[in-house]
Amino acid sequence: MDLLNINNLRIEFPSRHGTVVAVDDVSLSVQPGEVLGVVGESGAGKSTIGNAVIGLLEPPGEMTAGHVLLKSEQIDTLSAEAKRKIRGRRIGMIFQDPLTSLDPLQTIEQQLVETIDLHLKLGEKKSQERAVDLLRQVGIPEPETRIKNYPHQFSGGMRQRVVIALALCAEPEVIIADEPTTALDVSIQAQILELMRRLCKDKQVGMIIITHDMGVIADITDRVAVMYRGKVVEEGTTAKILGNPDHPYTQSLISAVPRPDIRLKRFPMVNYIEEEGERTKDIDLSTHWLGRHRDYDAVDGPLLSLKNLVMTFVTKPALLKSNRITFNAVDDVSFDINEGEVFGLVGESGSGKSTVARMVCSLYKPASGIVNFAGTDLTSIKSENERDFYRRQMQMIFQDPFSSLNGRMRVMDIIAEPIRFHKLASSNQEVEQVVNDLLDHVGLGAQASVRFPHEFSGGQRQRISIARALATRPRFLICDEPTSALDVSIQAQILNLLKDLQEELGLTMLFISHDLPVIRQMCDRVGVMKQGKLVEVSATEDLFENPTAAYTRELLDLMPRLDKLSHEGLEVEEA
Amino acid sequence: MISFIFKRLLQSVVVMLTVALIAFSMFRFIGDPINNMVGQDTSQADRAALTEQLGLNDPFIVQFGRFALNAAEGNFGISYKYRQPVSSLILERLSATLELSFVAAVLTLVVGIPLGVYTALKGKGLISKGIMTLSLIGVSLPTFLIGILLILLFGVVLRWLPTFGRGDVIAIGWWTTGFLTVSGIKSLILPSITLALFQMTLIMRLVRAEMLEVLRTDFIKFARARGLPDRSVHFKHALKNTLVPVITITGLQLGALIAFAIITESVFQWPGMGLLFIQAISDVDIPIMAAYLVLIAFFFVVINMVVDILYYMVDPRLRADSTA
């Protein structure tokens, strides 16, 4: 007997512009002890299914067809009160962001005891004992004392454990986990997934994991359903879907996943979610504005050289310098980047990689150390003119495509601003021509220039950011997690674009990412950072094949195993 | 915690000294105090003697120091008009203003918070739409107009309630209270409603906005997903988180109630500090004006400090041991 059945589910969101069908004729089932993965890109309707099962669809969404059966008993037609009694008791739910999933004003004990007592009616004392026991099960050290703490006193990974403990309070038969590890570092992700798999097998719980991450799917699921625009396009065992997918969408989705084990020349394109931008005309870089004045003075040695860089933040301010508590976000970091090279910087959150980037482009002033760019120490520049001269050569692309563009400016002005500021074009007409060509070059088309940023998707906005970065004709690009907010197919497009531009323009890049497979695809050399220190620098292939530092080996081991993934249609780059 | 309170105290002292400086400078820049105290026919020699006697020839800083020290002891000098110590004048009227403000504050919270919660939870219902519309009137009508309309309806047309004064009061030491007599309580009704109406609607709209915000957060969604009943989700988790920012505004508004009682007191001829202040302005009675200014600033400082400490107690994220 199936534990949970979802039959022919259809969910509609009526709106002024007609009805949006978020979920269309979806049927899924879960057995006890089984982990079912639901994978798809943003907007595919995967989270909506989870919300519908527990009866918490956001209005105005409504189920217009289909039914949900829990142990053959239909639950979608129950009264609101009866549905509430099922939530938490028989179906548990885990959400994406552990930092916001807990009530900040209550201790975790209050939250656990309330939930346990509600469902199991154990009374105060027994509930407390069970709460401590649950925390021990999910691997929180010293549960007796930690239980008195408030959520903000736990780290992200620990909080997700508390969230899991809360979902387990009444031993539910089914757990629905919506992107349970997306907000966590790889090492924490591996621990949490291991914990969830163990709980699932031990307690014979049926689990549905909703995710966009093929690594999570490969790591933990038994079966997978692939969703595309509200429909399940393919379903099967994990090995089958990953190794030998039938549907063209699944095939292209899997081919777009960055591999840790091989380096591709280019990603094969997924044209399902968003059309890959196409250039309508090729510009001749030898005569075009973008190619002009690229004859920067040749440098002896590396283009960028960091020596003993230190950045200190004050964590507890005090009047007296001796009473202040400080923290070295970057601690004695030195490395070189040669002209035309892509240098990767990898590490977990808080390792100081973004801080390094900000010091390189002088957004932060280092506490000590030297940033040497093209033979000049940027930290000792006094005149604003000279600073602008170097700023023009160095541009940055940020992680979040939503907050890094000014929403009140048209795309034309966003990209034209650096050209105008640095007086790189002779007339307004030329500026407009250059902006249109740049937009075309990054695959957006010149008609994008009159629109506002909010009219574009995340991937398209990242293209705008790239066009803006190119608008100063830089020789050095800093990319700080440029694709971590994007879906895999869009990520593949953006990485291809960056590779193309790097080749065409001979750009030098500092590429920052927490994602080792992406680093392998993009970089020539890699530096690994841990708690502000650089633990290893080596050529990319060496790093992946023969890591020297223990920490690097640890990171590599934690990478999700993607060796089951199909290799069909991939063009591997020879070392 | 202790160092936090100490820091706040230090800041309060700076604020009070600044306000005292402004109050003190009124003496020097609004008219000549000697002229205000003596008659037309006083001789130049007598004026000079009086100036010397009052210490007005001393350097500015000495005079200010004397003023600040006296003020700290509650001594603000002699009123020009009443020829009585300002402190006793104010003390007589303090109880009237405080009682009025207190009743208005209680009304504000007791009516404003539940209405805010109700309209947030039942946003689509007819009743909450009606409340929202009425609250718009409350926010936009000026206080004096509300007062006059209330007087017209309940005092003149229906003749239910008195329209001016405090009614009979009973003295308990220096404090006089209207709470213990029927006419005293009746007299309180109209002015306190008038004073509270604006704050009530403000708090209501604030609570509603904050509550809607909190209801959209992940932890509320997660609480529902655990099957917690609406009662617990709404009142245990959502309301408490709603009230954290509301406390700050409420504190400031409480100060405003005391300070802006002026208009209500004038409309209802309420014998409080506000009325005293208005009369002092028309009489250029600077000692009273200065004392009022310092006193109101003192109330604001004390309330804000209480609010900060409350905030500290409600929100565990602000507590000193939070780094554990």
DSSP string, A177-213: EESTTTTS-HHHHHHHHHHHHHHHHHHT-EEEEEES-
Q: Does A274 touch chain B (CB under 8 A)?
A: no
Over residues A295-310, the mean pLDDT reads 84
Do the Cβ atoms of A114 and B222 come within 8 Å? no
Q: Please report residues of A whose CB lies closer than 8 A to that of B315.
A: 104-105
Do the Cβ atoms of A88 and B217 come within 8 Å? no
- Cα distance between residue B69 and residue B248, in whole Å: 31
Residue B237 is nearest to which of A103, A107, A119, comparing CB atoms?
A103
pLDDT of residue B2: 75
Lowest mean pLDDT among A562-571, B39-48, B253-262: A562-571
Mutate to test the interface with A, among B10, B214, B222, B315 (most CBs of A within 10 A): B222
DSSP state of B233: I
Over residues B1-8, the mean pLDDT reads 79
Give B311 to chain A, closest Cα distance, Å.
12
The answer on pLDDT for A567 being more than 80 is no
Over residues B230-239, the mean pLDDT reads 91
Evaluate whether A151 touches A103 at the Cβ level (below 8 Å). yes
For chain B, give the number of residues.
Answer: 324
Average predicted confidence (pLDDT) for chain B: 85
Whether omega for the bond prior to residue A60 falls within 30 degrees of 0, making it cis, is yes
Q: Does B321 touch chain A (CB under 8 A)?
A: no
Lowest mean pLDDT among A45-49, A341-345, A447-451, B23-27: B23-27
pLDDT of residue A113: 94
Q: 């209802």: which residue's tokens?
A: B268
- Both tokens of B150, joined, read 């209330």
Q: Give the residue from B94, B87, B54, B36 showing the smallest Cα distance to B284.
A: B36
Over residues A68-72, the mean pLDDT reads 91
pLDDT band of B318, cuts 50, 70, 90: confident
pLDDT band of B317, cuts 50, 70, 90: confident
The answer on pLDDT for A273 being more than 60 is no
Give A537 to chain B, closest Cα distance, Å.
34
Do the Cβ atoms of A88 and B225 come within 8 Å? yes
pLDDT of residue A39: 92
Give the C-alpha distances (Å, rounded to integers) separating A255 from A243, A288, A381, A493, A565: 11, 35, 47, 12, 8
- Cα distance between residue A347 and residue A551, in whole Å: 10
Q: Does A182 touch chain B (CB under 8 A)?
A: no
- Cα distance between residue A173 and residue A523, in whole Å: 46
Do the Cβ atoms of B224 and A56 come within 8 Å? yes
Indicate the helix (H) or strand (E) that contains B97. helix B86-121
Q: Does A171 touch chain B (CB under 8 A)?
A: no
Over residues A219-235, the mean pLDDT reads 92
For chain A, list the domains and their CATH numbers.
4-255 (3.40.50.300), 290-558 (3.40.50.300)
- Cα distance between residue A498 and residue A508, in whole Å: 11
DSSP string, A125-167: HHHHHHHHHHHHHTT-SSHHHHTTS-GGGS-HHHHHHHHHHHH
Lowest mean pLDDT among A228-232, A425-429, B80-84: B80-84
Q: 């979610």: which residue's tokens?
A: A273
For chain A, give the number of residues.
Answer: 575
Contacts of B11 (CB under 8 A, 6+ apart): none
Q: Please report residues of B whose CB lies closer than 8 A to that of A89.
A: 227
Q: Give the residue from A532, A463, A23 showing the smallest Cα distance to A230.
A: A23
pLDDT of residue B323: 38
Lowest mean pLDDT among A128-132, A322-326, A551-555: A322-326
Over residues A11-23, the mean pLDDT reads 86
pLDDT band of A274, cuts 50, 70, 90: low
Torsion sign across C-alpha atoms B111, B113, B116, B118: negative
- Cα distance between residue A394 and residue A422, in whole Å: 13
In B223-242, the residues whose Cβ lies within 8 Å of chain A are: 223-229, 232, 236-237, 240-241
pLDDT of residue A305: 93
Do the Cβ atoms of B219 and A103 come within 8 Å? yes
In B174-233, the residues whose Cβ lies within 8 Å of chain A are: 217-219, 221-229, 232
Q: Does A102 touch chain B (CB under 8 A)?
A: yes
Do the Cβ atoms of B227 and A88 come within 8 Å? yes
pLDDT of residue B321: 45
- A433-439, long-range: CB < 8 A, 24+ apart: A433/A289, A434/A289, A434/A290, A434/A471, A435/A467, A435/A471, A437/A283, A437/A288, A437/A289, A437/A290, A438/A290, A438/A467, A438/A470, A438/A471, A439/A411, A439/A415, A439/A464, A439/A467
The answer on pLDDT for A284 being more than 80 is no
Q: Give the residue from B304, B237, B273, B289 showing the smallest Cα distance to B95.
A: B273
DSSP string, A417-456: HHHHHTT-SSSHHHHHHHHHHHHHHTTS-GGGGGS-GGGS
Give the C-alpha distances (Å, rounded to integers) separating A312 from A304, A321, A366, A532, B165: 22, 13, 8, 10, 65
Over residues B293-307, the mean pLDDT reads 89
pLDDT of residue A251: 86
- Both tokens of A14, joined, read 């009526």
What's the distance, CA A215 to chain centroid? 12
Give B128 to chain A, closest Cα distance, Å.
19
pLDDT of residue A441: 86
Q: Please report residues of B whose CB lies closer than 8 A to that of A115.
A: 226-228
Q: What is the pLDDT of residues B162-178, one digit of tens each?
A: 888 888 888 887 788 88
Give B227 to chain A, closest Cα distance, Å.
4
Q: Please report residues of A whose CB lies closer than 8 A to that of B226.
A: 87-88, 92-93, 115, 166-167, 169
Do the Cβ atoms of B225 and A93 come within 8 Å? yes
Give A516 to chain B, closest Cα distance, Å.
30
Contacts of B31 (CB under 8 A, 6+ apart): B284, B286
Do the Cβ atoms of B219 and A85 come within 8 Å? no
Q: What is the pLDDT of residues A170-206, one digit of tens each?
A: 889 999 999 888 877 888 888 889 888 988 898 899 9
DSSP state of A253: H
The answer on pLDDT for B142 being more than 60 is yes
Average predicted confidence (pLDDT) for chain A: 87
- Cα distance between residue A490 and residue A357, in whole Å: 24
Evaluate whether B308 touches B106 at the Cβ level (below 8 Å). no
Evaluate whether A24 touches A231 at the Cβ level (below 8 Å). yes
Q: What is the pLDDT of residues A42-55, one digit of tens each?
A: 878 888 999 999 98
Share of chain A above pLDDT 90, in %: 40
pLDDT of residue A396: 93
Q: If DSSP codes are grouped into helix, strand and coil, which group holds residue B139?
A: helix
Question: What do you get for the CA distance between the two ends of chain A, in Å?
Answer: 52
Do the Cβ atoms of B219 and A104 come within 8 Å? yes
For chain B, list the domains and their CATH numbers.
92-272 (1.10.3720.10)
Do the Cβ atoms of A56 and B221 come within 8 Å? yes
Q: 């998707």: which residue's tokens?
A: A457
Report the chain B residue with the minimal C-alpha distance to residue A176: B225
Q: Give the residue from A379, A309, A344 showing the smallest Cα distance to A479.
A: A344
Do the Cβ atoms of A149 and B225 come within 8 Å? no
Q: Does A100 touch chain B (CB under 8 A)?
A: yes
The answer on pLDDT for A16 being more than 90 is no
DSSP state of A261: S
Tally of CA atoms within 13 A in the half-sphere of A545 that contains its CB: 7
Q: Does A168 touch chain B (CB under 8 A)?
A: no
The answer on pLDDT for B101 being more than 70 is yes
pLDDT of residue B324: 33
Report the chain B residue with the minimal C-alpha distance to residue A167: B226
